[in-house]
Structure 1
Amino acid sequence: MSNPIPIINLADALQPGAPCSVEVAQAIRAASMASGFFYVRNHGVPPEVVARQFDLARQVMALPLSTRQALNVYASPGMRGFEIEGSQTLDASARPDVKESFQCGMDYPDDHPYVRAGYHFYGHNQWPAEMPELPAQCNAYIQRMLGLTRRLMELMALSLGLPENYFEHTGHSPMVTLRMIRYPAHPEGADERTFGAGAHTDWGAITVLAQDAYGGLEVQTPEGDWVPATPIEGCFVVNLGDMIPRWTNGLYHSNPHRVRNVHSRGMPRYSIPFFYDLDYLARIEAVPGTVPPGEQPRFAPCTAGEHLLQMYRTTYGTAAKAV
Structure 2
Amino acid sequence: MSIPIIDLAHLNSSNPADVRHIVNLIREAAMSSGFFYIKNHGVDPAIVERQFALAKKLFDLPDHVKQKYDQSHNFSHRGFEQIAAQKSDIYAKADLKEGFYCGKNYAEDDPFVLARYQNYGINQWPNEEVPETESYCQEYIALMNGLCEQIMQLLALSLDLPQDYFDESCINPMVTLRLLKYPPHPKDADENTFGAGAHTDWGSVTILAQDNLGGLEVCLPDGTWIEAKPIENTFVVNLGDLIPRWTNGLYNSNPHRVRNKYSEGQPRFSIPYFYGPSYLTVIEPLPGTLKQGEQAQYSVCTAGEHMEEMYRRTFDVKTEDLPVLTLA
Class of the TM-score when normalised by the shorter of the 2 chains: over 0.9
Which residue matches 1:316? Answer: 315
Mean alpha-carbon deviation: is it higher for 140-149 or for 276-285? 276-285
Q: Secondary structure at the match of 2:270?
A: strand
Q: Secondary structure at the match of 1:162?
A: coil
Alignment of 1:1-323 (within 5 A): 3-13=1-11, 20-128=18-126, 129-318=128-317
Distance in 1 separating the partners of 2:86 and 2:26: 31
Distance in 2 separating the partners of 1:20 and 1:180: 34
Mean alpha-carbon deviation: is it higher for 309-318 or for 238-247? 309-318
Question: Contact 1:14/1:43 (CA < 8 Å) preserved in 2?
Answer: no
Q: Which runs of 5+ in 2 are unaligned?
A: 319-328
Aligned length: 317
Which stretches of structure 1, 4 residues or longer, exceed 3 Å deviation after superposition? Answer: 14-19
Q: Using structure 1 for the length normalisation, give the TM-score.
A: 0.95
Shift, 1:277, TM fit: 1.6
Q: 1:84 to 1:274 in 2, by over 3 A?
A: same
Question: Contact 2:218/2:254 (CA < 8 Å) preserved in 1?
Answer: yes
Question: Contact 1:12/1:18 (CA < 8 Å) preserved in 2?
Answer: no
Distance in 2 separating the partners of 1:261 and 1:26: 33
Q: Deviations over 1:170-191 (max 9, x none)?
A: 1111110000000000012010
Q: 1:271 to 1:296 in 2, by over 3 A?
A: same
Question: Contact 2:118/2:307 (CA < 8 Å) preserved in 1?
Answer: no
Which residue matches 2:325? Answer: none
- Percent pairwise identity: 53
Distance in 2 separating the partners of 1:97 and 1:204: 20
Shift, 1:90, TM fit: 0.4
Distance in 2 separating the partners of 1:312 and 1:116: 19
Letter of the 1:253 counterpart: N
Q: 1:19 to 1:137 in 2, by over 3 A?
A: farther
Shift, 1:12, TM fit: 1.1
Computed over aligned residues only, the root mean square deviation of the Cα atoms, in angstroms, reads 1.5
Mean alpha-carbon deviation: is it higher for 215-224 or for 14-23? 14-23
Letter of the 1:67 counterpart: V
Q: 1:18 to 1:57 in 2, by over 3 A?
A: farther
Q: Which runs of 5+ in 1 are unaligned?
A: none
Shift, 1:313, TM fit: 0.3
Q: Secondary structure at the match of 1:20?
A: helix
Which residue matches 2:324? Answer: none
Distance in 2 separating the partners of 1:268 and 1:41: 25
